[in-house]
Amino acid sequence: MITLTSKNMMIFKNEKDGRISYSTTIANKKEDGSYDNASIQVQFRKGVELENKSKINVTNGFLSFYRKQDNTPVFKFIVMDFETEGDAKEPETTSTFDNTDLPF
């Protein structure tokens, strides 16, 4: 399992057909100095709501994926615990990880 901790991750809130989803971007610097950007889904625990362009620090998370109907993988970050940027106190969510904490 690949665990995830990151500083200054910007979260984008997307609303479509009454459903809310979250994503972030990842970038790869090309040889010519320009960047190639891609979006990756972010999934939080049930009940977590963030504003668009929230900046967070992930303290507990991992990389996962699912397969679409055509069998292509879609990667996503599963964020279990995080702090909002600027918080020096307790994380926004805290827990002891076990399988019952998974958001799916």
User: Is 60 part of a structural domain of the chain?
Assistant: yes
- Can you give the pLDDT at residue 1? 61
- Can you give the pLDDT at residue 88? 43
User: Is 100 part of a structural domain of the chain?
Assistant: no
- Can you give the pLDDT at residue 6? 63
Report d(CA 11, CA 32) in Å as an integer. 28
On whether the CB atoms of residues 12 and 23 are closer than 8 A, the answer is: yes
- Can you give the pLDDT at residue 7? 64
User: Is 97 part of a structural domain of the chain?
Assistant: no
Chunk the chain into consecutive blocks of 10 residues (it has 104) and report each block's average pLDDT, rounded to whole numbers: 71 95 93 93 94 93 94 94 68 51 60
Domain extent at residue 18: 6-28+36-90
pTM of the model: 0.72
> How many structural domains are present in the chain?
1
